[in-house]
Amino acid sequence: MKSIKFSNGDSMPIIGLGTWKSKPGEVYQAILWAIESGYRHIDCAAIYDNEKEVGNALQFAFKNGLVTREEMFITSKLWNSNHRLEDVQPALKKTLKDLKLEYLDLYLVHWPVSFKKGVGFAQNREEFFTYNDVPLSQTWEGMEDCKSKGFTKHIGVSNFNIAKLEEIIKSGKQMPEMNQVEMHPFNPQHKLVEYCQSKGIHMTAYSPLGSGDRSASIKKSDEPSLFENQVVMELADKYQVSAAQILIAYSIHRGIVVIPKSVNEGRIKQNLASVEIQFDKEDVEKLSKIDLRYRFIDGSFFTGSKSPYAQQDLWENDNS
Ligand code: A2P
């Protein structure tokens, strides 16, 4: 399995199974299909509300000798309501309990946005903490503690732009080892990729297929389709693979970890097989040039008029 390497020599499989939007009734079977077909990396988060089922599936796999814990790479994420120093470790421990694991391989700060304790999705000003209340440096200190205590082998962030990364790099003792962001040919994030590479921060692409199964409340009616993009379709034809496989292979060819979500056995297998695609160099460039600066997950649910956060707290001004 192709992988990326952390500075301590640990490796992370370049493709993992995404579990955002996988329902509790579906994710158990999806994890087992994934492990049986050769996935060794699962991407989770507390807010996905399915970690218990993921944990049950992992337990089944370990107990029945499908795979060992050491062979698996498991990521999870700290939700926005647990950013205070005293809340970080308990949040990680809850995730470990749900996943029935002793340790995570990677723990990420899910968003650079902070909610008050117990809030799922903040709806009004009173439910948010500001950066004055809970600076990102405080959350990062909590993450460093978790790593030093062995609850997670690696730590990183998600949805962080260059300014936010600089902030925690300046204040922290340890570098973030990963930045997981939305990435695909409509938003290849060239500037952020270049910055992360220059700092030795690995990257993971979420929503590599455009997350068409999002709830209607966070979907626009006129969204462009990655699957129907002309360049993507031409390459699918050229390499005799599906559009989804072109999109997954695009990330792999950039050395960027990719976590397509599926709960369908055939598509779970198909997505893993994308690792085999050998692109001609110019085809990666063709995909990179599409660059519509288009985000499917635009973060506007965290930055409305009732929030202390602005779009610049999430993305660069040119939306890259
Ligand atoms: P399903 O779970 O039924 O397979 P993303 O990873 O960008 O969040 O996208 C997930 C969406 O893409 C889901 O609706 C998922 O549906 C669908 N999907 C996953 N793999 C494929 C594939 N190989 N071809 C088409 N759609 C796919």
pLDDT in tens, 32-68: 999 999 999 999 999 999 999 999 999 999 999 999 9
CA 173 to chain centre: 23
- Closest atom of ligand 1 to 271 CA is 23
3 state SS for 167-181 = HHHHHCCCCCCEEEE
- Ligand 1 centroid vs 160 CA: distance in angstroms? 24
122 falls in which pLDDT band (50, 70, 90)? very high
Is any ligand 1 atom within 6 A of the Cβ of residue 261? yes
210: left (phi over 0), alpha (psi -120 to 50) or beta: left
Pocket test for ligand 1, best of 27, 261, 269 (most atoms within 8 A of CB): 261
- Closest atom of ligand 1 to 260 CA is 6
- Ligand 1 centroid vs 310 CA: distance in angstroms? 30
- Beta-strand (E) ranges in the chain? 3-5, 11-13, 17-18, 41-43, 73-78, 104-109, 114-115, 128-129, 152-158, 178-182, 202-206, 257-258
Tokens coding 52: 């218990």
Comparing 26-35, 82-91, 217-226, the range with the smallest average pLDDT is 217-226
- Ligand 1 centroid vs 17 CA: distance in angstroms? 11
Tokens coding 273: 């097989």
pLDDT above 80: residue 117 = yes
Is any ligand 1 atom within 6 A of the Cβ of residue 207? yes
Is any ligand 1 atom within 6 A of the Cβ of residue 50? no
Catalytic residue among 28, 39, 48, 107: 48
Give CA separation, 175 vs 81, 143, 168, 202, 315, in Å: 23, 11, 8, 11, 20
Which residues, 6+ apart, have CB-to-CB distance to 289 below 8 Å?
none
Q: Give the model's pLDDT for residue 316.
A: 83
- Taking CA atoms only, the protein residue closest to ligand 1 atom 8 is 211
The average pLDDT across 140-157 equals 98
CA 92 to chain centre: 16
Query: What digits encode the pLDDT tens for the residues 209-251?
Result: 999 999 999 999 999 999 999 999 999 999 999 999 999 999 9
Comparing 165-179, 189-203, 296-310, the range with the smallest average pLDDT is 296-310
- Distance in angstroms (rounded) separating the CA atoms of residues 254 and 90: 36
Nearest residue to 13 via CA among 288, 275, 246: 275
Instruction: Supply angle C-alpha 77, 81, 82, rounded to 5.
Output: 65
Give the DSSP H/E element, type plus range, for residue 265: helix 265-272
* 82 three-state secondary structure: helix
Neighbours of 127 (CB within 10 A): 16
> Is 48 one of the annotated active-site residues of the chain?
yes
Q: Whole-model pTM above 0.95?
A: yes
- Distance in angstroms (rounded) separating the CA atoms of residues 117 and 128: 9
- Taking CA atoms only, the protein residue closest to ligand 1 atom 15 is 262
Nearest residue to 180 via CA among 18, 33, 36: 18
Pocket test for ligand 1, best of 43, 213, 270 (most atoms within 8 A of CB): 213
